[in-house]
Structure formats: C-alpha cells, structure tokens
Structure 1
Amino acid sequence: MVKDCVFCHLELEPKQRVILSNEHCLFLQLEQFDQKGVQLEGAGLIVPRKHRKTVFDLTREEWDATYSLLKDVKTYLDEKHQPQGYNLGWNSGEVGGQHIFHSHFHVIPRYEDEALAGKGIRYLFKGKENKRNVRER
C-alpha cells in the first residue's frame, strides 16, 4: 500500500464508494456519478486491491478478477442506469493520461442523449488538434 494513494486508502477520497468487489479488485464510484442524468452517470473504476502502478503490473489473477467484476458491474449498471453503450479503458503512463499511479480501469456508461453519443474512445485522438509533430529520429 502506498500511503497517499486514494485507491489504497479509500478514506482519502470521502465521496468515493465501493459498489461491488471480489477477492482481488473493487468497483469504485464517486457519489455524484450515481445520480440520473448527470454527465458520466454510472461511471466508475475497477481497481486492484493491491497497489499496482499500471495495468501492465497486474497479475494473472488480478486480470481474471477484473474481467469477472466487469461482468458484475455491467449487470449492475444495466439494471440501475440502462445505458445504451459503454466505453472501457485503461490510461497507462503519464503520456497515456494516467494521473493516479494505481492501475484503474474506467467503466463509462454511454447514453443516446449525450452530445458525443456515437463517438468512441478514438474520437479524441483522431482530431487535427492531436496531429503529431514528427521529427526524424
């Protein structure tokens, strides 16, 4: 456990709740995402119980537990929030957008009335504003 990690010490983020769990991981949700109609309604994170810096540090057991918990999370979210789709993903490393260095798997329900409905995870990266400045190596 890392002393200042919000996923190792859940009490460091008082608005975060454990919704579902298994032997190796937890599904966490900030209380504001439990409300109907809010941006990111139903969104949460699956995190390993043990501190793992990135997704690449997970054990096989933690991978399997993440998959198993994801199935339970989908059932829970389908019943409670009725999304029409999902985006799922890991950010790994600073350049990859990881800001908390305890591996966490984003589960983001999607709704047909969103302004960006139909836009997947690649949408952000395909825009002109993300064009690389390629230099010879």
Structure 2
Amino acid sequence: MRLHPECPFCHPVYDPGQRIVFETANCWFLQHPKAQGVLEGSGVIVPKQHRPSPFGLTPQEWQETQELLGLAKTFLDQIAPDGYTLGWNVGEASNQSIGHSHLHVIPRFNDEPYAGKGLRHWLKKPENRRPGQGGDKR
C-alpha cells in the first residue's frame, strides 16, 4: 500500500483528533474537531492509499466512496441538515491543501450566513474572470 509518512489522510490514527467514523476495505469517512466549530458534521471520504486526486481512484475506491457517501448521509441526517455541499479540490489553484484525494461532505443549514451559496457562488463573480477572458455569462 502506498502511504506517505507526513500525510494526515494516510495515517488518520496518528492524529488524536481525527475520528474514523466509517471504514471500508479501501476508504475511510473521517471527521476532525477543527472542522466542527464552523462546519458542523462535516467530514471527508478518503482512499486509504495515497492518491493525489480523484482522477487516480480505482474502480473499487470509487465504489467504496459511493458506499461511504450513503453511510455518511444517513449518519449526518441525524443532525437534520437542510442540504449538503459535496466537493473535491484538486491542485493548488483549487485550494487543495492536503495532497491526498478527499471528498468533502458538508451538511448545510438554512440559518447559516452563507446558506444558498454553493460551490460555484464565488467562481461566478466577475472579479474571478481571468485576464483576457471573454464575457461568458454562464
């Protein structure tokens, strides 16, 4: 198994705050208390093998990611969110801060200050337009 010594997702048991909520043969659903202060219930689904991005996941890891996503939703539905934001950041330009593939599973609530603001909210702002980019209004 390919593991990186300094990667918190390769070795979740080395971080006393990190909690393995669910586990399959090849993946984990993890929660960390640092995220719970603002993002109540949030967690990540990660492959046990070090994969820099979801583009390198095996078919089995995709299947187990889907399985864990279902388990995570059932588990998180207990806190009665009004919706979910799911997403991967891949690469530095996307703000991937840990170089190990991880699917964010974030329960969302109508009483949040950013309720109704999804993944694309900031991306669609005109000030995010690249230099020389046309006026595509999508």
The two structures share one fold, judged by TM-score above 0.5: yes
**Pairwise CA distance, 1:134:** 2.5
1:85-119 Cα deviation digits (max 9, x unpaired): 00000111111221111100000100010011111
Q: Distance in 1 between matches of 2:24 and 2:104?
A: 17
Q: 1:133 aligns with which of 124, 128, 131?
A: 131
Identity percentage of aligned residues? 47
Structure 2 match to 1:122: 120
2:71 is matched by which residue type in structure 1?
Answer: D
1:74 is matched by which residue type in structure 2?
Answer: K
Q: Distance in 2 between matches of 1:47 and 1:98?
A: 13
Report which stretch shifted further, 54-63 or 10-19. Answer: 10-19
1:55-80 Cα deviation digits (max 9, x unpaired): 1010000001000110000000001x
Structure 2 match to 1:93: 91
> Structure 2: where are the runs of 5+ without partners?
134-138
Matched residue SS, 1:87:
strand
Structure 2 match to 1:26: 28
Q: Does 1:72 align with 2:32?
A: no
Structure 1 residue ranges (4+ consecutive) displaced by more than 2 angstroms after TM superposition:
11-14, 31-34
1:13 is matched by which residue type in structure 2?
Answer: D
TM-score (norm 2): 0.88
TM-score (norm 1): 0.89
Q: Distance in 1 between matches of 2:55 and 2:64?
A: 15
CA RMSD between the two structures: 1.5
Q: 2:15 aligns with which of 13, 33, 53?
A: 13
Q: Distance in 1 between matches of 2:131 and 2:33?
A: 40
Matched residue SS, 1:77:
helix
